Amino acid sequence: MRIDELFNQRKPVISFEIFPPKKVDGIETLYDTLHELGDVQADFVSVTYGAGSSDNFNRTLEISKYVQDTFKVPALHHLTCAERSITEMDDIFAQLQEAGIENILALRGDVTAKQLELTDYEYAKDLIAAVSANGNFSTGAACYPEGHVSQLKECEDMKHLRQKANAGANFFISQLFFNNDHFYRLQEDAFANHIEKPISAGIMPILSQKQVARMTFMCGSSLPAKLVKLVHQYGEKPSDLQAAGIEYALEQARDLIEQGVDGVHIYAMNRSDVIQQIIPDLVNFTGEFA
């Protein structure tokens, strides 16, 4: 099923993200993790993808197809355009279509100046346009409540968001954030700029001090005082910090649902315990607002 149709049918759409393990034999472990969930209650599952080698594409495609075939849930196949030519991308589109994949999250990916010389797609909007022109896919794109980490701006540049929407993006999924006010500002700015595509809010539960340092550096997401205090309070007690981090994420998500967001997207880090604690809660909570 196309994810843009899901957004037309219900609100909010609940989803989570998984990623291909670095080792090939780790894929079976990931499948075991998904089977631990029993009935996957999410509306769709997104599968990440790294720039560059064909192995990354093959693993993402394998996992996406497995999710759809086994759990009958739409997969959102991530796709980056770094170092890709038009001919290569056309071949990728054909493989995705043959595998029954209907949904692509179109991203540029992190690239060097040298890599940009090797691609026919300089920006994410260029790949979005190519996916949209193909006509066989529902096209997702990324957005950034606190601005992209490579920019000094503290909020999403509406010019870039409009370019992605005009290129054919059917929906957006936000970068992770820990303060809902950042997401509400993004929504208001998009509305004021007549960008009317659904925007799903990206939430990542804090599970360890190391994770906090890594993700805030990589994504440029700020930590509100309440969350900083939780990390300090439970930093030496990993199980307590995980419980507090999951509850904080649930509080974020419940507030977003109460405010009528289009969707909530959980960055689950391949953790079945995270998915099991968060997704059913959100599905049940969503039912109260149906």
Q: Which residues are catalytic?
A: 17
CA distance 257 to 288: 10
Distance, CA of 146 to CA of 153 (rounded, Å) = 8
Strand partners, 199: 172
Cβ count near 92 (within 10 Å): 19
Spatial contact of 43 and 6, defined as CB atoms under 8 Å apart: yes
Nearest residue to 272 via CA among 90, 75, 36: 36
- Whole-number CA gyration radius for the chain: 18
Are 109 and 82 in contact by the 8 Å Cβ rule? The answer is yes
Phi, psi of 202 (to 5 degrees): -90, 120
Tokens for 89, please give them.
């991308």
Cα separation, 99 vs 138, in Å, equals 15
Q: How far apart are CA 21 and CA 18, in angstroms?
A: 9
Q: Terminus-to-terminus CA distance in the chain, angstroms?
A: 21
